[in-house]
Amino acid sequence: MTAMVKAEGVHKSFGAVQVLKGIDLEVAPREVFCLIGPSGSGKSTFLRCINHLEKINSGRLYVDGELVGYRQKGDKLYELRDREVAEKRRDIGMVFQRFNLFPHMTAVENVMEAPVQVKHESKAVARERALKLLDRVGLSDKAGSYPSQLSGGQQQRVAIARALAMEPKLMLFDEPTSALDPELVGDVLDVMRGLAEDGMTMVVVTHEMGFAREVGDSVVFMDDGVVVESGHPREVLTNPRHERTKSFLSKVL
Amino acid sequence: MTVEIDKAGPKDAPPPAPENIKAIPVRHYGRWVTAVVIIGVLASIVYAFSQGDVNWGAIPDYFFDDRILKGAGMTVWITIASMVLGVVLGILLAVMRLSKNPVSAAIAWGYIWFFRGTPVYVQLLVWFNLGLIFHYINLGPIYQDEWSDFMTPFLAALLGLGLNEAAYMAEICRAGLLAVDEGQTEAAHALGMSHAKTLRRIVLPQAMRVIVPPTGNEFINMLKTTSLLAVVQYGELLRGAQDIAQDSGSTTEMLFLAALWYLILTSVLSVGQYYLERYYARGSSRHLPMTPLQRIRANLFSFSNRSAGGVGTS
């Protein structure tokens, strides 16, 4: 079985600052894969590399067996054209910390936008599916609302529905609950839990240790651009072997 | 320790409302003096004009004169035409200036530098007088003609105003594009949208909110700048008024008349701008401000309430 995401020695630097210093990991299909670690550890950057929002400097990154951002012919790498990169991103949903909903469109228009514009679905079909997705995230009554009329938790759920509308095989979550008021976190996590139960492959950067322990199939603790420790959530979170993991967990738990 | 306060009056009665403060307000004598002085100055200006040798009757007589109406129409037409040219070219220049291609960025920069750095009056004259150095225009199989037939007053006006405007619009559009959060582009890209689609569907509509208000100003400015077009023999409003002035001898009166017409036209544009801004504000604020019509209706409604004895609280 090919891994959904496979990283081999992934390096990334911004100017002189090395953010990722050789990441090796594998995400199996249907797995819920949680990335934890202090801020600045590179976990969000790594997530953004998976759908090529950031270019990696060395190493190899594969999604579903295909190289991200490049095509290999013989021993030469060719950069993909923008159009080809866009095509591959269709299959990867992404949810951002700050939602990034399109403010000039209503909730249902946000969800319809990509299917209509990218997949050229008819508006009627796209709207019907968008309404179903909004129902699935518990917002069927907010279809006509603009993002500014929704709470943070509702916006994030619309954002999840928007990503699901493209029927992705992989979902990336970049600290999806970090910008939310504490009482709104639960609704978003419930939606994500439902997705996990349906067998969606998910890579989740999170500070919600409860979610990682309960829903996660594996957890990776990153610090300073390297993977410090990985394994089953119960082991990593309750029985950390490394000092850095221990000290991080003692601060957040 | 708690203190029981003996409540006066029957137990069920609501507590008495706190007494309103009655105080002598501060007297602003300075405001009175300023108001009197300003009104006095205004009155003396009005008086001066009433004593001038002005043939006021000429203004209504010629207000709807054919030459005025035709001039106003020509003014509106060239305003719209050069603004369309300016906006389209301006968006193109803004995108070029933000592009990763260094050549197109440099060309856009140079264009803006040149057309913003020289007076529009000079540019108009240059376009009009290019016939002195080119006698014949030859675009191969597409178009060939004598220069003087090619460079009509309309074309000179359009190029002079429109190309100049594009330089300003480019900067306005660039500011608008830069004002859109980068997360919007990322979200669109993550959904698999191309650069062009992201620009057209996601970034531009949001940039419009920033672009529209200054563009409205540009529109109004353009309308007034068309009064320079006499220099390229374009028959706009001011020229129409001056033609009448020469026939009738009422020079100043016709300038007043033209000024009135400009005021009317710019007022119409301001109203249009208001509604356009409202349209692009959708989604950005929770409640759109009321349109003037809605406000009048609401005021009428609350007024009838008040007269019916209701207590106005808002």
Q: Which residue of B has its CA nearest to A81?
A: B194
Q: What is the 3-state composition of chain A as percent helix, strand, coil, each rounded to the nearest 5?
A: 40, 25, 35
Report pLDDT for B310. Answer: 41
Domains and their CATH numbers in chain B: 64-281 (1.10.3720.10)
pLDDT in tens, B256-282: 999 999 999 999 999 988 888 888 877
Q: Would you call A89 and B190 a contact, using CB atoms and an 8 Å cutoff?
A: yes
Share of chain B above pLDDT 90, in %: 58
Q: CA of B202 to nearest chain A CA: how many angstroms apart? A: 7
Q: What is the pLDDT of residue B69?
A: 94
pLDDT of residue B143: 85
CA nearest to A159 within chain B: B187
Q: How confident is the model at residue B287 (pLDDT cuts 50, 70, 90)?
A: low
pLDDT at B285 over 70: no
The string of pLDDT tens digits covering residues B156-185 is 999 999 999 999 999 999 999 999 999 999
Interface test with A, best of B186, B191, B197 (most A CBs within 10 A): B191
Maximum C-alpha span of chain A = 56
pLDDT at A68: 94
Q: Which residues of B touch A159 (CB under 8 A)?
A: 187
Task: Report if pTM > 0.95.
Answer: no
The answer to whether A172 and A94 have CB atoms below 8 angstroms apart is yes
- Among B190, B206, B280, the residue with its CB nearest the CB of A51 is B190
Residue of chain A minimizing CA distance to B189:
A86
pLDDT value at position B308?
44
Closest chain B C-alpha to A123 CA, distance in angstroms: 15
Query: Is residue A160 classed exposed, middle or buried when 0-12, 13-18 and 19+ CB atoms within 10 A define those classes?
Result: buried
Share above pLDDT 70 across residues of chain B, in percent, rounded to a whole number: 88
The CA distance from A99 to A155, in Å, is: 7
**Cβ–Cβ below 8 Å for A87 and B201:** no
Distance in Å, alpha carbon of A64 to nearest chain B alpha carbon: 17
- pLDDT value at residue A252: 83
> A117 vs B197: CB contact, 8 Å cut-off?
yes
Cα separation, B171 vs A10, whole angstroms: 40
A56 touches chain B (CB under 8 A): no
| Token pair listed for B196 | 């062009």
pLDDT recorded at residue B142: 82
pLDDT at B83 over 90: yes
The predicted pLDDT at position B307 comes to: 45
Give the span between the Cα atoms of B21 and A118, in whole angstroms: 66
How many angstroms separate the CA atoms of A106 and A116, rounded? Answer: 15
pLDDT at residue A76, as a whole number: 92
Chain B residues within 8 angstroms (CB to CB) of chain A: 181, 183-184, 186-195, 197, 201-202, 205-206, 280, 282-286
pLDDT in tens, A219-247: 999 999 999 999 999 999 999 999 999 99
pLDDT mean values, one per 10 residues, chain A (253 residues):
92 94 95 94 95 94 94 91 93 96 96 96 96 95 94 96 96 94 92 95 94 94 94 92 92 81
The dihedral sign for the CA sequence B253, B254, B257, B262: negative
User: For testing the chain B interface, which of A117, A119, A167, A169 should be mutated: the one with the most B CBs within 10 Å?
Assistant: A117
Residues of B in contact with A105 (CB under 8 A): 283
Tokens representing residue B65 in the block: 């004169």
Min Cα distance B93 → chain A (Å) is: 22
**Exposure b/e, A41-78, CB count within 10 A at least 16 = b:** bbbbbbbbbbbbbbebeebebbbbeebbbbeeeeeeee
> What local confidence, expressed as pLDDT, does residue A22 receive?
95
Residue B294 has pLDDT above 80, yes or no: no
- A88, A103, A117: residue with CB nearest B201: A117
Kindly state the average pLDDT of the residues B98-121: 95
For residue A80, list chain B residues with Cβ-Cβ distance below 8 A: none
CB-closest option in A94, A102, A147 to B190 = A94
Q: Which of B184, B280, B285 sits opposite A148 (nearest CB)?
A: B285
Question: Which chain B residues are Cβ-neighbours of A90 within 8 angstroms?
Answer: 191-192
* Interchain CB distance below 8 Å, A118 and B183: no
- Sorted by sequence, the CB contacts under 8 Å of residue B8 that are 6+ apart come out as none
Coil, strand or helix: which one is A34? strand
Q: ipTM surpassing 0.85, yes or no? A: yes
Contacts of B219 (CB under 8 A, 6+ apart): B79, B83, B269, B273
Mean of all residue pLDDT scores within chain B: 87
A250 in contact with B at a CB cutoff of 8 Å?
Answer: no
Is the pLDDT assigned to residue B2 strictly greater than 80? no
pLDDT confidence of residue B116: 94
**Alpha-carbon distance B181 to nearest alpha carbon in chain A (angstroms):** 9
Q: Is the pLDDT of residue B306 over 60?
A: no
pLDDT of residue B314: 40
Query: Contact A83/B202, CB-based, under 8 Å?
Result: no
Flag whether pLDDT at B152 surpasses 70.
yes
**Domains along chain A with CATH numbers:** 5-250 (3.40.50.300)
